Structure 1
């Protein structure tokens, strides 16, 4: 009897783990600025090792420049990416999506601009910078389950640009769900705090991961902006992970990662990690894996 119970526990745990989807959002801070002791060359290995350790299935990154992209791809060989730079030039930034290519494949991808003319390289409304959205249709190679994964970085200056961008993201969620009714997950640096119109607009149609986690979010707080100030507690939540309300997935746990080295953070933002649980019975309308029947 003990052997049967032990086997049930082990196999059930394995099945539970296989139904987990780990999604991270991380603003890695661009490389083309003089950050002194926090320059990219000093901290780049730490960023790569952090990603390697937490093993996200999908990682929405912001402020990624080509030199950073190349380094991370070289040092994280299991990952590939989708996305285009938001403008021309060697210092152009990506809002790209890294994905574990050993587990997932890309079926569709697109990058567009957050502006009145989204299919052209353009600034929108009162934005200080070009801003983009990258999204992809991904498929799990084993289970065949599909996902919409979306990543963005909203403007840090233009309030109207952020508010209009939020409306576009809500509309995008509706359009993609209408096209293929599968889990929709949005990551990003939204440069907005929880009570701002940007976030309340998104929450009308999407759930925010940290606030609906089945277990209490782990980490010192849900605040993500640290400005490389290690001895000051972060006091702004501007990085988020959202997902559609009408879905069969839920957030099993949420982590604001405050790992550090030499009393320094790897970036001026703290990465966030949501572990989603996938209910395959509801998603695929067929019985859950027979791991559960012993």
Structure 2
């Protein structure tokens, strides 16, 4: 029975998702493409660094092919085991190779955690403001791991003004704890509090990232009660670096009532010369903003 179940899950993982998207340039100008990807942190030496050298071109290719107007990334980090490290090889590489994007919510490592940049197309948006906030009990000191071995967890945010006019868009990029449901729920409650003023004013809000939970979990319920809806993402997003996942999506795109989704969300499963961008697949959703 277990073997049959595993085979079924593997088959579903292969069938669900896509390896191509319509070009963003072919879409109606009123549409907005939003995406998220957990980029998988690296170390400056060893197997994980060698794997990064192998897959980094695939990551750039995937981001460029998806061509999202707003792209949230998580785990953009070079972790060397010290409490504070200035080197961020992933961020430097992506900034160099993706000149059409602005990078928000980054800064000096002694004051700003830069592992969750928010990318935006510079031909569509102007950055009005940016920042970050830690989840309760999960964020001191700034960067990146505490004495108990846990990561500091936080949300990055950016306020983006469409160049063609319209209201600014509030974008919050999250990465929740992968072990503790309590910590995930605390993080979701913090985000709900942070976005509440914008929601109350009827302003457009996007909340994007790695939930480390399913869309029907208690964590997700907190965000729904904050007047956010989930993009309908079908199939696994985390795949252990193999391309095949064994449980439903944990990466999610959430949006306020100002956004109308165009169809369902997409799990983008493209590999490039056999290389996948990360151990997560990107998730993508097109919207119309009223």
User: Which TM-score tier does this pair reach, normalised by the shorter chain?
Assistant: 0.7 to 0.9
In structure 2, relative to structure 1, the CA distance for the partners of 1:228 and 1:64 (3 Å cut) is same
Unaligned runs of 5+ in 1: 1-13, 211-216, 280-294
Contact 1:127 1:157 in 2 (8 A): no
d(CA) in 1 for partners of 2:186 and 2:49?
A: 37
Task: Give the match's secondary structure for 2:156.
Answer: strand
Contact 1:112 1:119 in 2 (8 A): no
Pairing 1:62-81 to 2, within 5 Å after superposition: 62-65=74-77, 66-81=88-103
In structure 2, relative to structure 1, the CA distance for the partners of 1:255 and 1:86 (3 Å cut) is farther
Pairing 1:44-193 to 2, within 5 Å after superposition: 44-65=56-77, 66-84=88-106, 94-116=115-137, 121=142, 128-178=150-200, 180-193=201-214
Task: Give the match's secondary structure for 2:37.
Answer: strand
Pairing partner for 1:248 from 249, 258, 262: 258
Residue 29 of structure 1: how far off its partner (Å): 0.9
Contact 2:267 2:284 in 1 (8 A): yes
In structure 2, relative to structure 1, the CA distance for the partners of 1:146 and 1:93 (3 Å cut) is closer
Contact 2:140 2:152 in 1 (8 A): no
Q: How many residues align?
A: 250
d(CA) in 2 for partners of 1:270 and 1:38?
A: 20
Contact 1:87 1:130 in 2 (8 A): no
d(CA) in 2 for partners of 1:229 and 1:86?
A: 34
Residue 103 of structure 1: how far off its partner (Å): 1.5
Residue 175 of structure 1: how far off its partner (Å): 2.3
Question: In the alignment, is residue 237 of structure 1 matched against residue 249 of structure 2?
Answer: yes
d(CA) in 2 for partners of 1:72 and 1:130?
A: 23
Task: Give the match's secondary structure for 2:58.
Answer: helix
TM-score by length of 1: 0.76
Unaligned runs of 5+ in 2: 1-24, 78-87
Task: Give the match's secondary structure for 1:17.
Answer: coil
Residue 157 of structure 1: how far off its partner (Å): 2.0
Which of 1 and 2 has higher RCO (CA within 8 Å, sep 6+)? Answer: 2
Partner residue, 1:5 = none
* Root mean square deviation of aligned Cα: 2.9
Q: Kindly name which structure, 1 or 2, has the bigger radius of gyration based on alpha carbons.
A: 1
Task: Give the match's secondary structure for 2:178.
Answer: coil
d(CA) in 2 for partners of 1:159 and 1:134?
A: 21
Residue 226 of structure 1: how far off its partner (Å): 0.3
TM-score by length of 2: 0.77
In structure 2, relative to structure 1, the CA distance for the partners of 1:152 and 1:31 (3 Å cut) is same
Pairing partner for 1:43 from 43, 46, 55: 55
Contact 1:128 1:157 in 2 (8 A): no
